[in-house]
Amino acid sequence: MAYQVINTILNNSDAEVSAAEAHGMAAGILCVNAYADSAQWLAELFSNAASVIDEEKILLVRLFEETRRLLDSDEFEFDLLLPEDEVSLSEQVIALKNWCQGFLFGVGSVYTSADWPGDSAEIMRDIAEFTKLDIEAEGEADESAFMEITEYLRSAVSLFRDELNDNTSGTIH
């Protein structure tokens, strides 16, 4: 699903999040609760915004469900919803920072335990650090670093989800 389509829906409804942040929220929620309903996510997205028309809501729910499917896949298909390569690297970095903020919010909105199993605490610290990335990015070295971070996040999110799903002591609401 194209980043720009989701971003346009969110912008037109005056939602206070970008497509990247919304996708990060969905991924965070689904990592903690694989059975989460899209209604919680939609309520967060539009808590202070105008409602969306049914066709747009269907697209958003499809994004949520596709995120669930990709996270559940054994084929390592999950990817972050970020702008296409045609936009500047700085815009991509901003979107990555927003994705990370959304992910942290999504996890925090569902996971209420202070006890992080396995490597999940380190992953959360790393993702929190990525929210501080310098947006003045340009050149091959920065582009390479950006690609490494996105690949790390793809792997880390899958590991994080597995760690939490293997842990039955966490409190999920």
HEC-encoded secondary structure of 15-77: CCCCHHHHHHHHHHHHHHCCCCCHHHHHHHHCCCCCCCCHHHHHHHHHHHHHHHHHHHCCCCC
Whether residue 48 is predicted with pLDDT greater than 90 in this model: the reply is no
Tell me which of 1.20.1050.10, 3.40.1390.20, 2.40.160.20, 1.20.120.740 is the CATH number of domain 3-166. 1.20.120.740
Domain-wise residue ranges, the chain: 3-166
Per-residue model confidence (pLDDT) at position 172: 42
CB 48 within 8 A of CB 16: yes
| CA–CA dist 3, 21 (Å, integer) | 11
Per-residue model confidence (pLDDT) at position 15: 86
- Render pLDDT for 21-32 as a digit per residue (tens, 0 to 9): 999 999 999 999
Q: Is 135 helix (H, G, I), strand (E, B) or coil?
A: coil
**pTM of the full predicted structure?**
0.90
